[in-house]
Amino acid sequence: MIPENLTEGQLLSLLELLVEQRFTQPPPRYTESTLVKILNVKFSAKMESNLDKIEQHKAGYEETLTKFYQPFKTALEKAKEQKKEIKNELVEKTDIICDKCGRPMVLRWGKNGRFYACSGFPECKNTKPIEEPQVKQSDEICDVCGAPMVIKRGRFGEFLACSNYPKCKNTRPISSAAPIKKGENILLLQQLPQM
């Protein structure tokens, strides 16, 4: 028997199969004409009702498509543009020089977090992973534990951090001297020759 709810494609492959079977081992119960009749009845009935359904819904589909899909498409395109903009905004300048072309490298966001990428992209595709912050010695002493402070590089540039880290988490900005106000500055300069 022919199952219900066959697609046109399935029906055609079934027909092919039946025809093939007929050539190799003819099914005794079906003559060619009854086979075609069965298929025709089922097929045309199904197609007719499908076509009716399509006709009935066609206008509806088209309306839905224009009403829904068009704004959706616009929104999607906008989102794509914004994503690009946001991605570009996330690019951060660094003072690291590309070892391939000499241009400065920038910090970019990738799937696995941040990484250095050449600002010459796409001409230069050089990238490198972010290394652990480089530690430089300083002659400053930690005011919490007395250990020497080291210079570390963070997101906002260099800063002083206690070498006892992580035991001591003391940090301070590099310019640790009390900020000199404008007036004081002039006074200091005036006093300088007398010293």
**Can you give the binding site for Zn ion, defined by CB under 5 A?**
98, 100-101, 103, 118, 120, 124, 126, 142, 144-145, 147, 162, 164, 168, 170
The distance of closest approach from Cβ of residue 111 to Zn ion in the complex, given in angstroms and rounded to an integer, is: 21
Residue with smaller CB distance to Zn ion, 42 or 103: 103
What tokens does 73 get? 């498409």
Nearer to Zn ion, 26 or 102 (CB): 102
Order the strands of the 127-129 sheet from edge to edge: 92-97, 104-110, 113-118, 127-129
β-pair type (171-173, 104-110): unpaired
- Report DSSP state, residue 193: G
CB closer to Zn ion, 30 vs 121: 121
CB 110 within 8 A of CB 101: no
In whole angstroms, the minimum distance from the beta carbon of 99 to Zn ion comes to 8
Q: Which CB sits closer to Zn ion, 38 or 119? A: 119
3-state helix vs strand vs coil in the chain, percent to 5: 45, 25, 30
Minimum distance, C-beta of residue 89 to Zn ion, in the bound complex (Å): 21
Structure tokens at 22: 């007929």
Q: State in angstroms the smallest separation of the CB of 151 from Zn ion.
A: 14
* CB-based contacts of 38, cutoff 8 Å, min separation 6: 2, 30
Our CB check for Zn ion shows the closer of 65 and 145 to be 145
Beta strands 157-162 and 104-110, pairing class? unpaired
Please state the closest distance from residue 101 (CB atom) to Zn ion, in A.
3
